[in-house]
Structure 1
Amino acid sequence: MFKGIVVEKDAEGYRASLAEIDENRLPAGDVTVRVEYSTLNYKDGLAITGKGPVVRSFPMVPGIDFAGVVEQSDHPDFKPGDTVVLNGWGVGEAHWGGLAQRARVKGDWLIPLPKRFSTRDAMAIGTAGYTAMLCVMALERHGLKAGDGPVLVTGANGGVGSVAIALLAKLGYTVTASTGRPGESDYLRRLGATDVIDRKELSEPGKPLQKERWIAAVDSVGSHTLANVCAQLRYNGVVTACGLAQGLDLPGSVAPFILRGVSLVGIDSVMRPKADRVAAWERLARDLHGPILEDIATEIALPQAIDAAARLMRGEIRGRLVVDVNAS
């Protein structure tokens, strides 16, 4: 038996609870992992609270990522004792995820954890930080270099935003953070933001073309915010889009793309090929300073995850929530 969060939907409604789970109920997979840490991401908040159609089968153990130690393996790349990390692949949505003390998954979904990181470090980074790194790498592929101009990060207090600011600042970029919580300005400046603006500047309907402000942006918000970011990008600017906190829609214009040569790059982290994942984690090990993780991350125990998910959906969480699945 092991402990885990279980999401159920039946005649009694939608609910999440902490439960004792028989290991025989673990889904099919060729690697069994003793989970040490997981996290709470936006998707996990949706899954636990039921505020979005994230869970595709019931019952479900949520948690789109985890880090831990291999216990059993029939996969040629992994053996008992290996330390591994998993992000995405539909885990926590269609396949039991990481908010539990055990997980059984396909070995092809796992990557070795870089030696520089502990399993706690890995989840202080988590899917949010791994996604932020994918965004930064996409900006670099577009040709962005430090000194080209200011870079905007929206949703700055969230997990993606926090890590993106820290990474970009470490690489020498001048970073502006957009946030709905101006009281967190000191935190954002500690991460490396030079300027902090109120998200209200971007969240309302705007003109198709606006004053050129940013050479690049990392956006995790979507909707009017993303449309305004595109309208404010400088000539040949680029924005990476990886989230939809404000909405799925993009109520904008083609004007920035055809008159200023702006590029919009979509970032998928869920089904990313393994080679890209390994490259992103290697870059994180190189470019993300360890002390930053302590500022970004707050640790909670597994029994606190359900209440924390509700707070996450209310926008009350700063940075990353690391879940110690073995703490009570």
Structure 2
Amino acid sequence: MFKGILIEKDESGYRATLKEIDDTELPEGDVTVRVSHSTLNYKDGLAITGKGPVVRKFPMVPGIDLVGVVEESSHPEFTPGDQVLLNGWGVGENHWGGLAQKARLKGDWLLPLPAQFSPQQVMAIGTAGYTAMLCVLALERHGVKPQDGEILVTGAAGGVGSVALAVLSKLGYTAVAVTGRPEDAEYLKSLGAAEVLERALFSSPGKPLGKERWAGAVDVAGGHVLANVCATTKYRGVVTACGLAAGMDFPASVAPFILRGVTLAGIDSVMCPRADRRVAWQRLGTDLDIEKLQKISQVVGLSEALPLARKLMNGEIRGRVIVDVNQ
């Protein structure tokens, strides 16, 4: 038996509870992992609270991230005792995830734990930080350099935004943070933000084109925020889009793209190929100041994840939440 959060849906309704789960209930897979830490992400919040149609099968263990030690393996790359990491691949949606003390998974979804990080540190980064790195890599790939101008980071006090600020500032970019919580201004500046702007400047319907300012952007919001970011991006600037915290819609015009040559680059971390994942984690090892992870993250126990999921959905959580599943 092992402890885990289990989401169930039946005639009694939709519920997420902390339970004792029998090993025989684990799903199919060629690697069994004794999990040490997971995380609480926006997608996990949607799954636990039922506020979004994230879970595709029931019952489901949420948790899109995990780190732990291999207990059993028939996969050629992994043997018992190996420390491994997982982000995405539909775990917590279609396949049981990391918010439990055990997981059985496909070995093709796993990566060896990067040598630069401890298990807790790698979860302080998690899917959010790895997604932030994918955004920075996309900016680089499209030729955006520090001397080209400011990089806007929306949802900056969240997990993606916090890591994006830390990485961009270390790489020499001038990063500008957008937040709906002005009380977090000093926190954001400590991560490397040169300026902090209020979300209200971006959250209402805007013009098809605005004054050019941003050389690039990391957007987690979508909706009017993304539309306004694109409208104020400089000629041939690049906007990376990786989230929908402000909505799935995109109420914009084609003007930024056909008149200013702006690139809108979509970032998907869930099904991202393993080769790209390895590059992202390698770069996080060199381009993220590990000391800033303590500012970005907090550690909680498995039982605390349930009430924190509701706070996360209400925008009350700053940075990253690491879940010690044995605490």
TM interval, short-chain normalised: over 0.9
Query: Does residue 1:156 correspond to 2:153, yes or no?
Result: no
Could you tell me which residue of structure 1 aligns to residue 197 of structure 2? 197
Query: Does residue 1:112 correspond to 2:136, yes or no?
Result: no
In structure 1, give the amino acid aligned to 2:197.
I
Shift of 1:145: 1.0
- Cα shift readout 1:85-106 (whole Å, capped 9, x = no counterpart): 1000100000000000000000
Could you tell me which residue of structure 2 aligns to residue 59 of structure 1? 59
- Cα shift readout 1:99-139 (whole Å, capped 9, x = no counterpart): 00000000000001111101111110000000000000000
Shift of 1:148: 1.1
Counterparts of 2:162 and 2:98, CA distance in 1 = 22
Query: Does residue 1:101 correspond to 2:123, yes or no?
Result: no
In structure 2, give the amino acid aligned to 1:67.
V
Could you tell me which residue of structure 1 aligns to residue 308 of structure 2? 308
Query: Does residue 1:241 correspond to 2:241, yes or no?
Result: yes
Could you tell me which residue of structure 1 aligns to residue 293 of structure 2? 293
Counterparts of 1:145 and 1:247, CA distance in 2 = 29
Counterparts of 1:2 and 1:70, CA distance in 2 = 15
Shift of 1:235: 0.5
Q: TM-score with structure 2 length normalisation?
A: 1.00
Counterparts of 1:69 and 1:279, CA distance in 2 = 22
SS of the residue 1:7 aligns to: strand
In structure 1, give the amino acid aligned to 2:119.
T
SS of the residue 1:169 aligns to: helix
Counterparts of 1:61 and 1:131, CA distance in 2 = 22
Could you tell me which residue of structure 1 aligns to residue 208 of structure 2? 208
Counterparts of 1:61 and 1:209, CA distance in 2 = 44
In structure 2, give the amino acid aligned to 1:108.
D
Shift of 1:290: 1.1
Could you tell me which residue of structure 1 aligns to residue 186 of structure 2? 186
Shift of 1:302: 0.3
Could you tell me which residue of structure 1 aligns to residue 271 of structure 2? 271
In structure 2, give the amino acid aligned to 1:29.
G
Could you tell me which residue of structure 1 aligns to residue 42 of structure 2? 42
Query: Does residue 1:146 correspond to 2:185, yes or no?
Result: no
- Cα shift readout 1:22-75 (whole Å, capped 9, x = no counterpart): 011100000001100000000000000000000001000000110111111101
Counterparts of 2:81 and 2:284, CA distance in 1 = 23
- Cα shift readout 1:187-232 (whole Å, capped 9, x = no counterpart): 0000000000000000100000000111100000000000000000
- Cα shift readout 1:261-293 (whole Å, capped 9, x = no counterpart): 000000000001110111111111111111111
Counterparts of 2:286 and 2:104, CA distance in 1 = 29
SS of the residue 1:282 aligns to: helix
Could you tell me which residue of structure 1 aligns to residue 123 of structure 2? 123
Counterparts of 2:35 and 2:122, CA distance in 1 = 12
In the alignment of these two chains, the number of paired residues is 327
Shift of 1:258: 0.5
SS of the residue 1:135 aligns to: helix
Counterparts of 2:289 and 2:213, CA distance in 1 = 28
Counterparts of 1:244 and 1:41, CA distance in 2 = 13
Shift of 1:297: 0.2
Counterparts of 1:257 and 1:113, CA distance in 2 = 40
Counterparts of 1:71 and 1:144, CA distance in 2 = 44
Counterparts of 2:89 and 2:116, CA distance in 1 = 24
Could you tell me which residue of structure 1 aligns to residue 19 of structure 2? 19
In structure 2, give the amino acid aligned to 1:21.
I
Counterparts of 1:83 and 1:292, CA distance in 2 = 23
Counterparts of 2:123 and 2:81, CA distance in 1 = 19
Question: What are structure 2's unaligned runs of at least 5 residues?
Answer: none
SS of the residue 1:203 aligns to: coil
In structure 2, give the amino acid aligned to 1:127.
T
Shift of 1:186: 0.3
Counterparts of 2:160 and 2:257, CA distance in 1 = 25
Counterparts of 1:145 and 1:76, CA distance in 2 = 41
Shift of 1:153: 0.1
SS of the residue 1:194 aligns to: strand
Counterparts of 1:305 and 1:246, CA distance in 2 = 23
In structure 2, give the amino acid aligned to 1:40.
L
Counterparts of 1:34 and 1:300, CA distance in 2 = 18
SS of the residue 1:48 aligns to: helix
In structure 2, give the amino acid aligned to 1:109.
W
